[in-house]
Amino acid sequence: MKLSDLIGNALCSNKCINCGELFEIYQEYEACPACDSILRENIQNNTVQINDINISADKFLFFYNNATIKKLVLDMKNFPLGQNCRYFARIAYECIVNDPVFSDFDIVTHCPRNPHKESVVGYDHSACFAENIATFCEKPFFKLIKRKIGGKEQKKLNLTQRISNVHNKFYFNRKYSCKGKTVLLVDDIVTTGSTVKECARILKEAGASKVLALFILD
- Picking from 166, 170, 190, the residue whose alpha carbon sits closest to that of residue 59 is 190
Specify the residue, 16 or 72, whose C-beta has the smaller distance to Zn ion: 16
- Picking from 151, 75, 165, 74, the residue whose alpha carbon sits closest to that of residue 115 is 151
- Edge to edge, the sheet with strand 107-110 lists 57-62, 210-217, 182-189, 107-110
Does position 18 interact with Zn ion (CB under 5 A)? The reply is yes
CB of 32 to Zn ion, least distance (A): 3
Q: Which of residues 29-88 bind Zn ion (CB under 5 A)?
A: 32, 35
Does position 19 interact with Zn ion (CB under 5 A)? The reply is yes
User: Residue from 16, 50, 76, 189 that binds Zn ion (CB under 5 A)?
Assistant: 16
Does position 132 interact with Zn ion (CB under 5 A)? The reply is no
CB of 81 to Zn ion, least distance (A): 15
Specify the residue, 16 or 55, whose C-beta has the smaller distance to Zn ion: 16
- Picking from 164, 159, 172, the residue whose alpha carbon sits closest to that of residue 200 is 172
Q: Which of residues 112-131 bind Zn ion (CB under 5 A)?
A: none
* Integer Cα distance of 199 and 206 in angstroms: 11
Does position 6 interact with Zn ion (CB under 5 A)? The reply is no
The residues that touch Zn ion, with contacts defined as CB under 5 A, are 16, 18-19, 32, 35
